[in-house]
Amino acid sequence: MDFNFIFLFIESIHLQFDFFGGERGALGSDDPMIKGLILSLFAVAGFGIILNVFNAAVRKKMVDQVKLKRIMKETRAYQKERMAAMRAKDQEKMSELGKKSAYMNKMSMEMMQMNMRPMMITFVPLILIFYFVLPQLFSYTVAISPIPLNVIPGDFFQLTCTAEQAADPEHVCETENALFLWAWYFLSSIAFSGIIMKLTKTSMDLS
């Protein structure tokens, strides 16, 4: 399981909402300071890289990486052993592992707290930059995808404009499959987060 992606997803869910205007995906400006898809595409990706570096620096400072990796390794080994015992219907082994469940739950909770602690620090500057800086610099959509990226059913996590939105003259979408400002930030953050975490040795990947 890629914990890096999970925490990026959690940290980015709120970014698709305009808390001031109330419209989903409406973050941006009618008259942005930075114009043009190519320039906007690279500039938003640059913000994503800078914030990822900041997040990694906070993680490195606040989280004991050696202890975190040890807990993760121990937790995954326990889960793997438990699943194997369940598949084999080995009641003796399952009973033996059940005695460790309270300890492993405690370790899982500690791991979650270690991962969430840096988010309490990085959340505030992310919100300030995303709601007060980026909407002044960029348009509502900053890139165009060759295909629709709304893979999650419903409209809760909508990355690209739909044909219906593009056809609505009052909607911020002007082109079908255009990527919202927040969506391109989210995707570019995912693209670079793994590299940055590996370089700063803050990755949660044990492989």
If DSSP states are collapsed to H, E and C, what string results for 96-155?
HHHCCHHHHHHHHHHHHHHHHHHHHHHHHHHHHHHHHCHHHHCCCEEEECCCCCCCCCCC
pLDDT for residue 137? 93
Please say whether the beta carbons of 63 and 202 come within 8 A.
Answer: yes
Q: In tens digits, what is the pLDDT along the chain, a chain of 207 residues?
A: 445 555 555 555 556 665 555 555 568 888 899 988 899 999 999 998 998 899 899 988 998 888 988 988 998 899 899 899 888 888 888 888 888 888 988 988 898 888 888 888 888 888 888 888 888 899 999 999 999 988 877 666 788 888 998 999 888 888 999 999 888 988 888 888 888 888 888 876 655
pLDDT (0 to 100) of residue 45: 93
Nearest to 182 by CA among 118, 123, 135, 122: 135
Report the alpha-carbon distance of residue 85 to residue 93 in Å, rounded: 6
